[in-house]
Amino acid sequence: MDSFLPPPVASAASAPLVEFDHVSRQFGSFRLALADVSFRVGRGELVLLTGPSGAGKSTVLQLIAALDAPTSGVVRVAGQDVSRLRKAAVPLLRRSMGIVLQDPMLLDDRDVLANVMLPALVTGVPVAEARTRAQAALERAGLAEATLRHARPRALSGGEQQRAALARAIVNRPALVLADEPVAHLDAAAAAGIFATLAQFSAAGVTVLVATHAVPAAFNLTPRVLALAAGRLQTASALPERA
């Protein structure tokens, strides 16, 4: 299957997968969402974008997915300036990413397995292969039980719904997963489970960027942290103080 991004790799390569080069994003005359932000993310890295509401975390993810364009500076994904992509290439870029939002946005007219299969079917994957991929993705996300796979989304807990959204995000085997506040509405235990699942994706070679205002205390890994405040970037080598 053709893909904008290269397949996941077992270890980080020298060339960054995501690069921000002096990126700013201005909305109107007064609101500066990002101010001269520069960073690089290597292949297979797990990176947390932290900061309070309005810090610019979601803007970073939207720029990577070409859902928005920088006012100045360059955003590169796999070496390509995403703001200069041909119009026809933008959907291909987005399909090659797994995107997870605060709201899982699962369709309640079908079961969880069918929800997870949907992105693969949209890209032309045969039904049997899409089902196999979806089952594997659900297993990786911790929803291997048949009672969960065949349940309607409304029958799942909030944490289980978010796990289903994670499975849907990886069903097309992306090299890059973007998660925007995926634990915002979950309790501490469920949030820790989601972070652990994202860490497993990274360990398998998937690059993962997570926008989050808080890191659960049970999360004992030390991923790279990019801390944002009022659109300006501060880098840290360890987790920020936990909320």
pLDDT at residue number 8: 45
pLDDT at residue number 220: 58
pLDDT at residue number 239: 47
Q: Say how far apart CA 231 and CA 240 lie, in whole Å.
A: 17
pLDDT at residue number 116: 96
Q: Say how far apart CA 151 and CA 90 lie, in whole Å.
A: 34
Q: Which strands, in side-by-side order, build the sheet including 18-27?
A: 31-41, 18-27, 72-77, 80-81
pLDDT at residue number 101: 84
pLDDT at residue number 236: 55
Nearest to 242 by CA among 182, 188, 185: 188
pTM score above 0.75: yes
Below-70 pLDDT ranges, the chain: 1-14, 215-223, 235-243
